[in-house]
Structure 1
Amino acid sequence: MAFQSEIRQSLINRLTEKVNGRNYGKYLNKVRLNPIRGFKDETITFDFPVTAIIGPNGGGKTSVLGAAGCAYISVRPGRFFAKSGRFDDSMQNWKINYELIDRSINPNDSINRRAKFTNFKWTRDRISRNVALFGVSRTVPANERKEFSKCASGRFHVTEDRIFQLEQNVIDAAQKILGKDLNNYTRINVDDNGKVTLLTGSTNEGVQFSEFHFGAGESSIIKMVLKIESLPDNSLILIEEIENGLHPIATIRMVEYLIDVASRKSSQAIFTTHSNDALLPLPSKAIWSATNNKFFQGKLDVKSLRAITGQVDAKLAIFVEDDFAKMWVESCIASDSEINYEEVQVHKMEGDGIAKSVNKYHNMNPTTGNSSICILDGDSQQNDSEEEKVYKLPGESPEAYIFDEVLENINSETDSMIGELTIALHRKFEDQEEVKSIINHVRLTNRDYHLLFSQIGKKLGFISEIVVKSAFLNIWKTQYPDQVQLINSFIKKTWIR
């Protein structure tokens, strides 16, 4: 089943328009690293107020997070870019350039600022903004945290004036993320200034328990929400590895919460992640991958990052736009004995622009060790190019093309494929006329070609969309061998067994 976010598309559109219109009191528009670690003249733009940074370990995700934080004087550069004597000599002459909004400095336009490391120290413009930073240490269990050592005792006690019920807005937000009732939870100020807080919870039977018995994810979410809800408008939220300690559903809900906060409080959030689930609620322009000292904008499968960097066993990587294009190409490959499918991998990129750009980078990168091609949808506005190894599938939209080609054949008086298609759709051979009628009715009433196969599956009795797609592709292959050969020729031009 396709993912459906609880964040409405209208809100996504409204927030995107707000960024485009620069309707913020404070906002970080753009960061350019030149150089920082291995990055040279690489730029990230923040085109949506919640931005995900993905990439392999050591790819530079935390460098982006640190660079963003260092735009503001409240974040110490050493938190992200510590120098260790002569072992970090490469830090000399590091520079970060910023384009940002600060209406207290310029009421009408964005401003440009810089942070640089020269003469063994950082120098920065003093730009102020409230920044909340949540590192990976937030999920360290309470019994392993030094600040809670005095709480781990039967003699621990605080007066009632240090015990507070969680605010209702915190309860509402945190329990939506965690999926549990938090109405009887409290926070305890362990020290005089309230910087160290211990949480308490309660079972349905009213039995109280302390944070020492919380799950790491539960504790970190409540404390993050406590902090975020206390922030003033136009704050910046930085989160390392947002999925740390969280169930996949809670990870999705946490990102949805950040989008909600961006709407309510005009805040901006940037987080790093290794999780595909964290990307699901976000638009494509809100996602950047950092890998091999390069940035790529656009939604893609986190697993595909290994293909971008050449960290795959396959001799040929194929980049396509989406799941259906991946199924289509893999189906063609499987029918050709001249192609060793075990040495070819197809990766979806969630968009034509990123598919083409990562293919170009992959083939220009001498460290990848294997070749790649890009196969775009027929209606892509990107240009195909033999030189750049970019090709296009036949037809326009892949789903509609395959569907209509099969439909034309099963409606032909001389065609006998409807029987085979009926069996492939998990129905009895005798049901072929009913199946044919359903297929024609769906095509007649369909408004969104992306839903064609799921609509067929539902009308046939909740048959999986994957089963329906596979059935149509298999029938199409037998009917159009010349088209199959055309698609496979793209592969053979670059690699053959």
Structure 2
Amino acid sequence: MQNSLSRPLPTLGSLTHEWNTARNTSKGWPLFLESVQIDGLRGWSGESVEFRFPVVAIAGENGAGKSTVLKVAAAAYTAEQVSGHTFYPDDFFPNTPWETVEGVTLTYLIRRGNKIDTQTLRKLTSRWRGMPNRFARALHFLEISRTQPVNTQIGYGKAATQANFTAAVTPFNDADRALLSRIMNKPYTSSGMATYQNKQVGVLNVGAGEYSNFHQGAGEDATADLVDLLRTAPDRSLIIIDEVEASLHPRAQRRLMAELFDIAEKRKMQFILSTHSATIMEQLPTEARVYIQTHRGGGRDVLYGVTAKFAMSLMDDVEHPELVLFCEDEYAAILIDALMNHEDPDLSRRIEILPAGAASTVTTLGALAAAGRLPGASLGVLDADQRDQVGCVRLPGSQAPEKEVFDALDDPAWEKVAQRLDVRAGELLQAVDDARQIDNHHAWTRRVAEHLGPRVRTDRVWEAIAAVWAKDSVNPEERATFVNALQRQLAS
């Protein structure tokens, strides 16, 4: 058998291509949960969460509503006859001595082929309405309880140590064992699942003897459960996983996400995940990252396309600076820093610059900041080619950052960049001319760095360009106007 650890990790690009070309066809994802809308439940008041990619991760602080979204999604379908489980809203949102669930409406957009249907579940008083009309689909939900070690669960530890206790092990096949081996980076020689009192117990072997969940780490235990679920789930299933990182270290998280991308593409499955992990968020494309932002005074906003750094900063409990600037990417952040350093160097100590995502994300954050719905003082910074928006300022110029800066620098300015990089001016000018032949301006700086050789990093090139542009090439009045806007925000 081929070494299960030797296969290259799958890449996101293949799934992205398949999604962009075949999503609605019979060869693509003819079954897909497009969105959920929640009204009247746990502080939700009609907000929607859209699922824009086959693998989506939802982040947010504890109590933001991530688990509520996952549980609402789990109630979207009734089970197929051959697989899956039918979940009811009362399974997740029961009446208790402390709360009564009523006045709730859950609305789903469900795609089947090229047709999108709207389905609604309502609990206006004592009973849920609309459940008999749900479409059938294989659906599985891995809740956070799976991360609790089996030997800590009442009764299981005692039962497993009884002399007369036996449980047959259903072995994983070679493909499933290889999947578990790749994620955990361990060469399992055998693996499988035993069942006792409806509890799945993983039994593994790496060549030094067999061991069960009673002697596994939580991450290994949870991953074995996931592999067992995927083994039985049919193609086109909806798989929902709460806190997908489940005690895995960052490298294992990356390997897990790569395998989920591969499964989503080959088996046309849909995965909806929740996470507190920057590593998980970093693996996903822009459209697959969702952040639920709660704000002062109650309520929440659903943000799409946020960067992992932005999401983690909002979930971190460190002291925040006097002002946070949200921009699109690291290129814009370096330009902002260069402008401040030339016009008012003291600003850098008082301001944090945070790449947040696409222009639409920055626009949304700017509006939230202007309305006082973010934790601290904030301001959006849009690229110069964007329109003015509430709560935002624009970088100097009129074009995208790379075009603006490369156009503004003349030969003497490029010579100053060459001095900062410690390269010959002629070599740099040739690299710039070569880079500008590429239609995609986002690739210009990387091409310049490649031309100059391995010791010159792309970020170093852009930092040198930004410093010269901010000092010598940008319109001084525009530079002053931009920095004055930041100063006014600090003073307000």
Same fold by TM-score greater than 0.5: yes
The aligned residue for residue 402 of structure 1 is: 405
1:343 equivalent to 2:350? Answer yes
1:133-172 pair list within 5 angstroms: 133-146=141-154, 148-150=156-158, 152-153=160-161, 155=163, 158=166, 162-172=168-178
Q: 1:319–1:372: 8 Å Cα contact kept in structure 2?
A: yes
Task: Find out whether 1:494 has 2:489 as its counterpart.
Answer: yes
What's the counterpart of residue 52 of structure 1? 57
The answer (yes or no) to whether the contact 1:310–1:368 under 8 Å persists in 2 is no
* SS class of match (1:35): strand
2:15 aligns with: 11
Corresponding residue for residue 203 of structure 2: 199
Q: CA deviation at 1:138?
A: 1.8
Residue 88 of structure 2: aligned partner: 76
1:197/1:149 CA distance change after superposition, 3 Å: same
Which amino acid is 2:359 matched to? D
Match of 1:331 among 335, 338, 348: 338
Please give the per-residue CA displacement for 1:254-296, whole angstroms capped at 9, x wherever unaligned: 2232222222222211111122221233332222211222212
Distance 2:340 2:258 in 1: 38
The aligned amino acid for 2:330 is D
1:475 matched residue in structure 2: 468
Aligned partners of 1:484 and 1:310: how far apart in 2?
33
Is the Cα contact below 8 Å between 1:101 and 1:111 reproduced in 2?
Answer: yes
> 143-152 or 7-16: which moved more?
143-152
Q: Residue 88 of structure 1 corresponds to which residue in structure 2?
A: 99
Q: CA deviation at 1:477?
A: 2.4
Asked whether 1:214 is paired with 2:216, we answer yes
Identity in percent: 20
Q: How does 1:348-367 map to 2 (within 5 A)?
A: 348-365=355-372, 367=373
Aligned partners of 2:59 and 2:318: how far apart in 1?
Answer: 16
Q: Which residue of 2 aligns with 1:62?
A: 67
Q: Deviations over 1:308-365 (max 9, x none)?
A: 9999633333221111111211222233338633332222122111110121122224
What's the CA shift string for 1:185-227, capped at 9, x where partnerless? 2224243x87533312223xx4433333322212211220121
Counterparts of 2:409 and 2:22, CA distance in 1: 44
- 1:26 maps to a residue whose letter is L
Partner of 1:460: 453
Distance 1:28 1:264, change over 3 A: same
Q: For residues 208 and 444 of structure 1, do their structure 2 counterparts lie closer, same or farther at Cα, with a shift above 3 Å needed?
A: same
Pick from 165, 179, 182: which aligns with 1:176?
182
Q: Which runs of 5+ in 2 are unaligned?
A: 1-7, 79-85, 295-299
The 3 A distance-change label for structure 1 pair 180 and 484 is farther
The residue type equivalent to 2:263 in the other structure is V
Structure 2 letter corresponding to 1:43: S
Q: Distance in 1 between matches of 2:432 and 2:491?
A: 40
CA drift at 1:442:
4.5
- The answer to whether the 8 A contact 1:20-1:47 is kept is no
RMSD (CA atoms): 3.3
Identify the match of residue 315 of structure 1 among 315, 322, 329. Answer: 322
Letter in 1 for 2:202: L
Taking the aligned partners of 1:250 and 1:211, their CA distance within structure 2 comes to 18
Q: Which residue of 1 aligns with 2:416?
A: 417
CA shift in 2, pair 1:324/1:295, >3 Å: same
1:73-126 per-residue CA deviation (whole Å, 9 max, x = no partner) reads: 4113244324322x324x3201111121458xxxx7332222223334434423
SS of corresponding position for 1:340: helix
Q: Does 1:231 align with 2:242?
A: no
CA gap of 1:307–1:172, structure 2 versus 1, over 3 A, is: closer
- 1:242 maps to 244
Residue 147 of structure 1, CA deviation: 6.0
In structure 1, the residue matched to 2:442 is: 450
Does residue 436 in structure 1 map to residue 435 in structure 2?
no
CA distance in 2, matches of 1:308, 1:376: 23
2:282 aligned partner, one-letter code: L
Distance 1:112 1:149 in 2: 46
Measure the CA separation in 2 of the matches of 1:308 and 1:170.
35
CA distance in 2, matches of 1:168, 1:407: 62
Shift of 1:438: 5.7
Q: 1:493 to 1:231 in 2, by over 3 A?
A: same
CA–CA separation in structure 2 for the residues paired with 1:77 and 1:172: 36
In the comparison of the two structures, how many residue pairs are matched? 467
Q: 1:17 to 1:94 in 2, by over 3 A?
A: farther
Question: Paired residue for 1:36?
Answer: 41
Deviation at 1:465, TM superposition (A): 2.7
The residue type paired with residue 46 of structure 1 is F
2:290–2:305 Cα contact (<8 Å) kept: yes
SS at match of 2:360: helix
Change (3 A) 1:307 1:341: farther
**Secondary structure in structure 2 of the residue aligned to 1:495:** helix
Report the TM-score when normalising by structure 1. 0.83
Contact 1:359-1:373 within 8 A present in 2 as well: yes
The one of 257, 264, 271 equivalent to 1:269 is 271
- Take 1:389 and 1:433, find their aligned partners in 2: how far apart are those partners? 37
**Which amino acid letter does the alignment assign opposite residue 233 of structure 2?**
L
> Per the alignment, in what secondary structure is the counterpart of residue 314 of structure 1?
coil
Normalising by structure 2, we get a TM-score of: 0.83
Secondary structure class of the residue paired with 1:196: strand
